[in-house]
Amino acid sequence: MVHNRKKDHFIAVLLIGLILFSCGKITAQETSNPAIVISKDLKWSERMALSILKRDPKAWQIDNNEKTKWDYKLGLVMTSFDKLYKETNNPLYANYIKDYAETVINSSGEILNYKLEDYNIDNINAGKMLFDLYARTKEERYLTAIKTLKKQLETHPRTNSGGFWHKKIYPNQMWLDGLYMGTPFYARYTAEFEGGQHFDDIAKQFEQIHLHTLDQKTGLLFHAWDESKQMDWANKVTGTSPNFWSRSIGWYMMALVDVLDYMPKDHPKRKELIQYLNEIAKAVAKYQDSTGLWYQVTDAGNKEGNYLEASGSEMFVYAFAKGVNQGYLPASYKKLAEKGFNGIITKLITVDADGEIHITQVCASAGLGGNPYRDGSYEYYIKEKIKTDNSHGLGPFILAALELKK
């Protein structure tokens, strides 16, 4: 009897434990919001935003993150939600941004997992969401965070020619990615808080990238440049990396059209940036596939292993459409943008029975150097992980759809 009571007690405790564990596990893994209804009659921009909200009620859950963090990719998605909120006035989108911001910026304005001394240009990007958030809430923590990020730019290491290093751990290097991470934030800050006094310095970042990464043969830009020419991936004569990666060129083009939002029309460098945009748009247009999309390695077409990649295609569509809308590019690029967007929704978007949409064929990440070492070869770019609903493909989809009013 005693033995049986002990056994029964053990079983009861075990069952209770399993129930509690199960409940806790369900709570921890709640990653969908069944209350979200996604009508097929909505524009694509809202269908994607609502799909994100349905899958990931908290923005930090995007990319299957297990906890919140200050992150450039989440900043990209928040930028798209900010623009969508301005277009729709739907508080769902503003609240999504605010809820995320409250998890990464405390009441004193300190940014979670951020270290200024890391001098990582990626860390600036999420700061773009804070300008409008501060304007809406008047919470000082967001202004404090904005000023902290600006302090990083004031002391950020530079090449001898004045370009921001991509990261302190990548000395003497400029990557195309870094132009989007740093310059739109810098441009808005100097426009709103400094009377525009640093637009020459912002233009210098584009000048250095144009000077050092432009390939005269194709008109495209190499992914990165090492001023020291010491990296194994760097050309020993030019310092450039060996290949063209569509998303990196997309980052550069988005940076151009977004910086121009803030640069005064009479600024002497404005025409130069518009010229850069026209030059890279012309080059990129030559490599648009018949589907309307672009390949992961921009100039390699259907070479074995190459694939039509979502995020780079979306970024090109966004830059083309915005460039035309703002008068920077000839009207013909609107047709190319439309063709590109049609390619995205017919070839890369999947739709669930309940209306939830997904973006496929997104390169999860790509870079140079580091450990394990990334050599910038063709084989490297085509072998990086390909994901569905990766943040790199979510934000630019919404941005492109908004510019095309889709």
pLDDT digits (tens, 9 = 90+) for 341-350: 999 999 999 9
DSSP state of 165: P
Taking 70 as the threshold, does the pLDDT of residue 22 lie above it? no
Q: What is the pLDDT of residue 141?
A: 98
* Per-residue pLDDT tens digits for 172-185: 999 999 999 999 99
Across residues 47-75, what is the average pLDDT?
A: 98
- 127 Cβ neighbours under 8 A, 6+ residues apart: 75, 145, 146, 149, 185
Q: Could you tell me the sign of the dihedral formed by the alpha carbons of 247, 253, 255, 257, in that order?
A: negative
Would you give the end-to-end CA distance of the chain in angstroms?
Answer: 73
Phi-psi region of 172 (alpha: psi -120 to 50; beta: other; left: phi over 0): left
Q: List residues with catalytic annotation.
A: 177
Note the pLDDT tens digit of each residue in 283-292: 999 999 999 9
Interacting residues of 79 by C-beta distance below 8 A, sequence separation 6+: 125, 128, 129, 395, 399
Question: Hey, what amino acid is at 192?
Answer: E
pLDDT, average across residues 312-328 = 98
Backbone angles phi, psi at 301, to 5 degrees: 50, -140
The pTM of the full predicted model, rounded to 2 decimals, is 0.92
- The predicted pLDDT at position 253 comes to 99
CA dihedral 387, 391, 393, 396 (to 10 degrees): 180
Is residue 248's pLDDT more than 90?
Answer: yes
- Token pair of 371 as six digits: 């450990």
In angstroms, rounded to a whole number, what is the distance separating the alpha carbons of residues 400 and 278? Answer: 18
Query: What are the φ and ψ backbone dihedral angles of 138, each rounded to 5 degrees?
Result: 60, 25
Q: What is residue 111's three-state secondary structure?
A: strand
For the chain, what is the mean pLDDT? Answer: 93
Q: Which residues have a Cβ under 8 Å from the Cβ of 71 and sit 6 or more positions away?
A: 65, 126
